[in-house]
A and B are shown apart, each in its own frame.
Chain A
């Protein structure tokens, strides 16, 4: 049974068709890349899948559940979590609290228990703390757990955003240009980390990235979006040789 099934998802902004008949089926644990020139509609696909904007037409099924028209927070609770192209940190909160916030909907106590400081409050807080610290260690961020997130260098913030998304315990992670702005060393580190995380968490990933080496190195399957239309999909080597893809890229970048 596929984890995600998007069928003919389209979005029209005024007169502009930003995404046309986007169709994608992903198995659990699969790694898929989404590439295309600037303005092709990649981020819009993420916004559509995760409920940040409603599709004009089409259907999205996650884990056998029709999530079309779900609100963004409901989609996240169903196990599909995205990051943003421009980092969106909780800048004034600590690194640790950024991760703890992401555990909110799985927390086993309510506002009453919080106000009265019932035993469930203490036991749950302990569990949340341990889980988040473990995750921070996993991403080598435990050294800065107590720092204010906004004061961290860019590379750390990029990593923190991924850690925070993982803290939701998603089954499918959508990463919008995770390597953008990173130096070659950081990019290489990220590649290794994503590979490990994916194995460890049995996570499926959909990845937007401009860095071709990066995408080719990590994805099993690639989709190419141009002007909102999926012009090609297949294995990395097929995509590399596809004349339509070459033309689209040479046309915009050559």
Chain B
């Protein structure tokens, strides 16, 4: 019998939060094909907004989570419009810059608001401590509930699945496939790039709120590029353009570092080597672009005897 300790529960919680982050980033990077390195920035917006609202304003957890997510969504929309004109490496750098700006803004928030308030003579109305700068934000009301986390993970996957498998989702995927062709068919590519960016940001905000109320102490440094890259690895590992792949990627990359703890200082050597080996053997990720349900379906028909033709093998070779 494995004894379920608080350590195990914590790993499960982070796994659920990572699922939300990876699945939502996949909408942006995988389906829409817009390489974003800024997911941690949106997570930070959700985390700080929700934490301040529950602690300082006494909002209920769900409302605070939604508010944090909506603010992240709004930032995604507003900043997505100019930023998503960029492509490839330039976009990656710009989204990274964006999340750095969020981080620096959080650190300097109190100073700046106070100075601005003093300038217009409102210094008595503005609280001295809002984000508490580099000190970090402590004593957030604790919500240590796997039900909340996995409830949100489920809702995130369901909503994204419903979007992806719809006309809106086809418009989004077509941009990832060939933006010019999509445009030539009457699809407003700028609109859908921004929309998918903002929806991704929304769920990153949700993940941030859940995270803040689990750990009860957050600081801006938790949302640096390392976090964005960690999420990106989950997406790439699972397969760009596969939602179930991202879930799998999040599970594997949450557990792997934990299992590697027994190797102590060798952990940070083994971990990247395993990743490199995996990407060399399966560069398209564990599931590629396919969903787990499709793969299971194919395996099932094969197991039942005569299956259809193997995927990727058109029955039309004879012309």
Contact = CB atoms under 8 A, between A and B. Distances in A.
A103 B181 contact: no
Interface string B125-152: 0000000000000000000000000000
Contacts of B316: 143-144, 147, 152-153, 156
Interface residues of B, number: 34
Interface stretch (A5-13, A113-121, A195-203): A113-121
A105 to B, nearest CB: 4
Given A104-B171, A143-B316, A114 B166 contact: yes
Interface in B12-39: none
A107 B167 contact: yes
A190 to B, nearest CB: 13
A81 interface: yes
Given A104-B187, A114-B167, A115-B163, A143 B177 contact: no
Nearest to B170: A101
B181 A105 contact: no
A151 B183 contact: no
A101 B178 contact: no
Contacts of A214: none
A132 to B, nearest CB: 11
Interface string A41-80: 0000000001010000000000000000001110011000
A103 B167 CA distance: 8
B4 interface: no
A179 B180 CA distance: 21
A118 to B, nearest CB: 11
A109 B314 contact: no
Interface in B175-206: 177-178, 180-189, 195
B167 A128 contact: yes
Contacts of A93: 170, 173-174, 177
Contacts of A114: 162-163, 166-169
B167 A89 contact: no
A115 B183 CA distance: 24
Interface residues of A, number: 50
Interface string A135-160: 00000000110011001110110000
Nearest to A108: B167
Given A114-B168, A153-B316, A168 B185 contact: yes
A71 B178 CA distance: 17
Contacts of A73: 183-189
A165 B185 CA distance: 7
Nearest to A105: B186
Contacts of A155: 319
Contacts of B159: 115
A90 B185 CA distance: 12
A88 B181 contact: yes
B313 interface: yes
Given A114-B169, A152-B316, A153-B316, A102 B162 contact: no
A180 B188 CA distance: 29
B289 interface: yes
Contact of A101 (B185, B188, B289): B185
A144 B314 contact: yes
A207 to B, nearest CB: 16
B187 A121 contact: no
B305 interface: no
A88 B185 contact: no
Contact of B171 (A77, A101, A147): A101
Given A104-B170, A151-B312, A92 B186 contact: no
A76 B171 CA distance: 14
A52 B181 CA distance: 11
B314 A147 contact: yes
Contacts of A211: none
Q: Among the interface residues B159, B178, B180, which one has the most CB atoms of the partner chain A within 10 A?
A: B178
A20 interface: no
A217 interface: no
Given A104-B167, A114-B168, A153-B319, A84 B184 contact: yes
A76 B313 contact: no
B262 interface: no
B278 to A, nearest CB: 21
Contacts of B315: 143-144
A203 B195 CA distance: 34
Given A114-B169, A147-B314, A105 B187 contact: yes
20 contacts: A72-B180, A73-B184, A77-B186, A90-B177, A90-B181, A101-B182, A104-B174, A104-B186, A105-B186, A114-B162, A115-B163, A116-B162, A117-B162, A121-B166, A125-B167, A148-B311, A151-B313, A153-B317, A156-B316, A165-B184
Given A88-B184, A100-B167, A143-B315, 20 more contacts: A50-B184, A52-B183, A52-B184, A76-B184, A84-B180, A84-B181, A92-B177, A101-B173, A101-B185, A104-B167, A107-B167, A109-B167, A111-B168, A114-B163, A116-B162, A125-B167, A144-B314, A151-B313, A153-B316, A164-B185
Please give me the 3 A-B residue pairs with the lowest Cβ-Cβ distance, nearest first: A114-B166, A76-B186, A90-B177
